[in-house]
């Protein structure tokens, strides 16, 4: 995918800076969406590497992720969703690449996980990441379990961002439409204390909302029934972010099912709203540099 200078300008980014940002898109084991995810970052001018996780596992070390600024945990069906979505993949990463992931987080790296990637980050303990010991990954503290209304749901959702959240990926976002497709997206915590701490720290940066713009648990506005409309999590630093919908599937205005109506109503954007989330991550990576 070619760099789009007009998009970069629209996002308030300089190609002199974005070209220095290196993004790792981890592939393999039944994952997909790698092309869309890579395209989103490449259109902003980033250098993107698509690497099969098996290659990383073949030579594990504490510096496995040292050359990248951003890690992208992509969507799909890792290991066929056997046992639970993201479970087998998370275990493989924890026990083969856990030290490298912990080192990446310690040095201030950024990460985003979409759908299966979000499920994996949660089962890895990266999210919500409370009480994480330095040099280690935290224990698993939450999970994404089968939708309250059982079955795989594929449809568009509207989400509202929490302006008080530390999440760097949602800065400046108010309402956002995104495509959502999953069967296990209901967020649950290991204890009421963990839930309360995560909520009080505003670590739920995006919530599903109904037609009135209010957070909701009701289907189909909320496709999984997560309490409080929770559709995403970030860690306490705001650098690590996961969400159930797919921002990488909304890179162009025409991706939206009502794009003609939006255009006729005066919306002149040629880019999809998913790009804004990715651009925020890139901006944070530039600031970190």
Tens-place pLDDT, residues 135-174: 999 999 999 999 999 899 999 999 999 999 999 999 999 9
Pairing between strand 232-234 and 70-73? Answer: unpaired
Q: How far apart are CA 25 and CA 46, in angstroms?
A: 12
pLDDT in tens, 176-214: 999 999 999 999 999 999 999 999 999 999 999 999 999
Evaluate whether 129 touches 111 at the Cβ level (below 8 Å). no
* Average pLDDT value for residue range 254-279: 96
One of 8, 33, 46, 115 is an active-site residue; which one? 115
Check: CATH 1.10.3080.10 for 5-288? Answer: no
Instruction: Assign 3-state DSSP to the chain and report helix, strand, coil percentages, each to 5.
Output: 35, 20, 45
Confidence of residue 2 (pLDDT cuts 50, 70, 90): confident
* Tens digits of residue pLDDT in 48-70: 999 999 999 999 998 999 999 99
Per annotation, catalytic residue among 167, 246, 256, 273: 246
Please give the Cα distance from 111 to 92 (Å, whole number). 18
Given 184, 248, 256, 273, the catalytic residue? 248
Judge whether 256 counts as a catalytic residue: no
Instruction: Decide the pairing of beta strands 110-114 and 175-182.
Output: unpaired
The 10s digit of each residue's pLDDT in 92-114 is 999 999 999 999 999 999 999 99
Distance, CA of 113 to CA of 245 (rounded, Å): 10
Q: 233, 201 in Cβ contact below 8 A?
A: no
Active site (annotated) includes residue 217: no
134 is an active site residue: no
**What distances in angstroms separate CA 24 from CA 41, 217, 272, one per listed residue?**
10, 34, 22
The model carries a pTM of: 0.97
Q: Where are the beta strands (DSSP E) in the chain?
A: 22-27, 47-52, 70-73, 110-114, 142-145, 153-161, 175-182, 186-189, 206-208, 232-234, 240-243
Task: Tell me the average pLDDT of the chain.
Answer: 96
Where are the domains positioned within the chain? 5-288
């Amino acid at each position: 995918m070619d760099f789009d200078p007009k998009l970069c300008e629209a996002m308030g980014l300089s190609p002199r800076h974005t070209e220095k940002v290196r993004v790792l898109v981890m592939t393999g084991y039944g994952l997909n969406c790698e092309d869309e995810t890579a395209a989103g970052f490449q259109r902003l001018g980033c250098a993107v590497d698509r690497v099969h996780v098996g290659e990383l596992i073949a030579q594990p070390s504490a510096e496995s992720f040292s050359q990248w600024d951003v890690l992208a945990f992509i969507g799909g069906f890792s290991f066929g969703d056997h046992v639970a979505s993201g479970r087998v993949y998370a275990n493989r990463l924890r026990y083969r690449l856990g030290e490298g992931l912990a080192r990446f987080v310690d040095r201030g790296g950024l990460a985003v996980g979409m759908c299966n990637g979000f499920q994996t980050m949660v089962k890895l303990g990266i999210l919500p990441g409370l009480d994480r010991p330095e040099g280690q990954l935290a224990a698993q503290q939450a999970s994404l379990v089968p939708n309250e209304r059982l079955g795989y749901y594929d449809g568009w959702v509207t989400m509202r961002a929490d302006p008080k959240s530390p999440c760097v990926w949602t800065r400046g976002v108010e309402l956002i439409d995104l495509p959502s497709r999953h069967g296990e997206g209901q967020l649950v915590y290991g204890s009421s204390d963990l839930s309360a701490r995560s909520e009080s720290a505003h670590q739920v940066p995006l919530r599903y909302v109904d037609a009135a713009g209010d957070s909701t648990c009701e289907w189909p506005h909320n496709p999984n029934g997560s309490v409080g409309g929770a559709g995403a999590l970030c860690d306490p630093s705001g650098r690590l972010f996961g969400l159930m919908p797919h921002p990488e599937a909304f890179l162009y205005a025409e991706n939206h099912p009502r794009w003609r109506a939006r255009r006729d109503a005066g919306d002149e954007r040629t880019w999809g709203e998913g790009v804004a989330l990715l651009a925020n991550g890139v901006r944070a990576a530039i600031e970190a540099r």
